[in-house]
Structure 1
Amino acid sequence: MSACARLSSLLLAGLMLCAPAWAGPGRVVSINLCTDQLAMLLAAPGQLLSVSHVARDPLSSAMAGEARAWPENHGQAEEVFALRPDLVLAGTYTSPATVALLRRLGVPVETFAPAQSMADVAAEMRAVGRALGRAAEAEAMARAFEADLARLRRDPAAGPRAALYYANSYSLGDATLSGQILAAAGYRNVAAEAGLRSGGTLPLEVLVMARPDLIVEGQPYPGAARSEEVLSHPALGLAAPRRAAMADRDWICGTPYVLRALQELRALTP
C-alpha cells in the first residue's frame, strides 16, 4: 500500500472514530395516537416515516396540524411492512394480530402502555426517547414537563369538587390520567368519592346529589348519538354552578399537552 493510501485510510478511520455515534433506528413508523405525538416531538429529522391517521383528527390529537407533515397509515401490517421500517411504535391496545404479524416478518415493534398518571407521562417520554435513540432530547423534554408541572400543581386536599362527565354517564376516578389532571389542578374528584377508581358509570342521579362545584364535560362528536343525550339533560344545569366542555385531545395521551388541560382547569377554579 502506498504512503498516500495509508494516509487516506488513517484519515478515514480517524473521521469515523470522531463522528458521533447514531444508535437510533433510521426508519420509524408509529401506529398509535400517543406514540404518534411523542415521536413527532422527539424524532430526528427524517427519522419518522409515518404516523397513524388518527394523529390528524383534531378531536383526538393535540398535534393534528403538525401530523400533516408526515404520511399517514391505518395501522395495517401490510402497509407498515411496505415502508421497510427499522422500528414500529405501537400501543398495548394496538391490534395484537398486527403486532404479531409484523414481528413474524422480522420488524421490531415496541409497545407502550397508556399513561395513567403524571409520573407515567414523563416516563413515557423517556421510554419513547430511548426507543428512538433520542434519550438526551427526551430527558430534556421530561425535565421541562416535570418543572412546569411542579410550578402549576395545586394540592386538591381542600380544593373544590369536580366531576368528569362524558357520554353514557361515563366518568373517571383518580387512578386515570384524566383524574390525575383534575387532582393536579387542585380539584377533588366526585367520581372517586362515589367509589370509581378508574373508569365507569356515574349515574346522573348520583352526580346531581353530589353537588360538585364544577362539571367537566366531554366534547360532542359529529353526528347524533343517543349516548350523548345525557350531556344535554336539564338536571345537569341543577347539579353544579359551573360546567365546562373541554377538548378530549389534551386529556387522552401522556404528552406535554396535558399541562394545557391543567391550565384550563386552573382558570376555572372558583
Structure 2
Amino acid sequence: MAGFLLATAPALADAPPARVVSMNLCTDQLAMMLAAPGQLISVSDIATDPLISPMHAEAVAYPANFGGAEEIYLLAPDLVLAGTYSDPAVVSMLRRLGVEVAQIDIVTGLDQVTDRLAEIGALLHREAQAGAEIARFETALATLSQPQTGPRAAFYYPNGYSLGTGTLSHDILTTAGFRHVAEDLGRDSSGRLALELLVMAAPDMVIRTGSYPGNSRSEEILDHPALEAVIAAGHGFISGPDWVCGTPRVLTALADLRAARDRMEAPP
C-alpha cells in the first residue's frame, strides 16, 4: 500500500485542478477563456455586471461567489484564483484551511496580457489553450497597433479622476496611436485632476465612462459646462468594460479607439 501511494503521489500532484473558484473580476475572465468544461465552478458576483464585465453573458452560466472565505471553502475548491489586492484576510484564512490560492497581479501594459494567459494556463494545466489565445492576441495586437502620432486624448472620470501614464489604459490609448495628455502634464500616476487643468490642456478627445444608475454626486463634474465645451470643441468617447482587465478583450477597446481615430482624422 505504501509503495502504491509513493508511486502515485507525483501523478496526483501533477493532476490538473478539478474544482477552480475565481474571486476576482480579471481572473474570472481568464479562467472562463481557458478552463476545461466543468473545471471552473464559481466566479465572482460582479462577473455578471455588464457595466464592468465584458464577459457578463458568459458568466451567467457559473454560480457566483461573494468573496467570503467560508463561502468559498464550502465549495471544496482545489484552486482559488484571486487578485494581488484581494481581501488579505480571506486569502490568509483559505490558505490556513489548506486551500491553494494563486494571486494574479494586475496588468499595467499590453505586453503583460500574454504573461497572464500563460500563468493561468499553467495553473489550470491548459497550456495548449493558453498558447492558442496568446497567438491570436499577438496577431490581432500587431494589426491594431499604430504610431503614436494621432490626436491628443485625456481620461476624465467621476470625481475628476484621471489616469496617468503607468496604466493599462494609457498603453491601450497610445497603442491605438493617440497621444496621452498625461504625458504633457507629467502625470505618471493616476488621481484627481482639476477641471481647470484639463480645460487648459485642450485635448482633442475626452474619454469618460458611462453613467451608473443612482445619480451619484461624483458624476456631476462630467456634466460641467466647461467639460462639455471641451468635448464640443473636439470629441467625446465612452470607455467600457473591455478596458478594465488585462485580457484579450482589450482588443475590442483598441479596435473601438482605432475607429474613433479614423473618424476624427477623416477629411470633412
Fold conserved between structures, TM > 0.5: yes
3-state SS, counterpart of residue 44 of structure 1:
coil
Rounded to whole Å, the distance in 1 between the matches of 2:119 and 2:80 is 14
Q: Tell me which residue corresponds to 2:115.
A: 123
Q: Tell me which residue corresponds to 2:46.
A: 54
Match status 1:243 vs 2:227: no
Aligned residues: 249
Please state how far the C-alpha of 1:198 moved relative to its aligned partner.
2.6
Q: Where does structure 2 lack aligned partners over 5 or more consecutive residues?
A: 1-12
1:71-117 CA distances to partner (integer Å, 9 max, x unpaired)?
A: 00001010111111110000011000000000000000000111100
What is the correspondence of 1:214-253 to structure 2 with a 5 Å cutoff? 214-240=205-231, 241-247=234-240, 249-253=241-245
Aligned with residue 138 of structure 1, among 114, 127, 130: 130
Q: Tell me which residue corresponds to 2:8.
A: none
1:201-238 CA distances to partner (integer Å, 9 max, x unpaired)?
A: 22111111111111111121111111111111111122
- Among all aligned residue pairs of Structure 1 and Structure 2, give the percentage whose two residues are the same amino acid: 53
Match status 1:164 vs 2:155: yes
| Larger gyration radius, structure 1 or structure 2 | 1
3-state SS, counterpart of residue 238 of structure 2:
strand
Aligned with residue 66 of structure 1, among 27, 36, 58: 58
Match status 1:89 vs 2:86: no
Q: Tell me which residue corresponds to 1:183.
A: 174
Residues 209 and 239, structure 1, Cα contact 8 Å, conserved in 2 = no
3-state SS, counterpart of residue 70 of structure 1:
coil
Q: Tell me which residue corresponds to 1:204.
A: 195
Rounded to whole Å, the distance in 2 between the matches of 1:202 and 1:108 is 41
Q: Tell me which residue corresponds to 1:101.
A: 93
Rounded to whole Å, the distance in 2 between the matches of 1:166 and 1:194 is 17
Q: One-letter code of the match for 1:242?
A: H
1:37-82 CA distances to partner (integer Å, 9 max, x unpaired)?
A: 1100100001001001010111110011110101000010101111
Aligned with residue 19 of structure 2, among 27, 43, 51: 27
Q: One-letter code of the match for 1:167?
A: P
Q: CA RMSD in A?
A: 1.5
Residues 161 and 187, structure 1, Cα contact 8 Å, conserved in 2 = yes
Q: Tell me which residue corresponds to 1:79.
A: 71
1:165-218 CA distances to partner (integer Å, 9 max, x unpaired)?
A: 101111112210111110111111112321211311221111111111111111
3-state SS, counterpart of residue 51 of structure 2:
coil
Residues 191 and 202, structure 1, Cα contact 8 Å, conserved in 2 = no
